[in-house]
Amino acid sequence: MAFSTKEELLERIKAVFPDEPWPKGQVTSDCDCYECQECNEAVKGHRWSEITPQLACRYYKCISLADDQGFRHLLPAFMSCALIDCAETDVAVQSLAWAYLSHKGRSIDFLTRPQAEALCDWLEWNLRDEELEHDEWKEHQDHGSFLQKWVLKKVRTKNDRMWARLEKLREEASRMSK
């Protein structure tokens, strides 16, 4: 882990995820159900940093209902909200897990290496977080453990291979230019 406190991890998330206004009018696909409409209204026009723990708790389904672009926008918000107020956002980890376990089959190939590492560190933080009540801990730990294994296996391995290939290409280009 590259941090020692919640504050350091929160700053790291802020540093690696761009905080841009949500460009689309909705975070979900073209679904017209009540839940999707409610999620779209809740996050409409917000930067991810403007989503409060209270908003994340109330609209926890947004992360699993979101389309891929919406998910990318909401991911750092849910990660940050869980660090800011763990008790208020105890559903953040479960909602993220559902996003990966659901029929959508989420991929996080869109993450940069620093973002993937921040997500791994966030998952590790959630696995060791002692603010949770004992009853909440078991389910929280199960979801966090699943996600951490998934991220470590899929993202870090894939990113490491990608960065190794990129480094090899750079070396080859450097040799060719000499």
* Window from 53-57, 62-66, 102-106 with minimum mean pLDDT: 102-106
Domain boundary assignment for the chain: 6-177
* pLDDT at 33 > cutoff 90: no
Q: How far apart are CA 76 and CA 50, in angstroms?
A: 11
The pTM assigned to this predicted structure is 0.68
- What's at 93, amino acid-wise? V
Q: Are residues 64 and 92 in contact, defined by beta-carbon separation less than 8 angstroms?
A: no
Share of the chain above pLDDT 70, in %: 58
Span 73-94, pLDDT tens digits: 888 988 898 888 766 656 666 6
* pLDDT at 14 > cutoff 90: yes
Q: What is the DSSP letter of 178?
A: -
Span 109-159, pLDDT tens digits: 777 878 878 887 887 776 665 444 444 445 555 555 666 665 655 555 655
Distance linking the first and last C-alpha atoms of the chain: 39
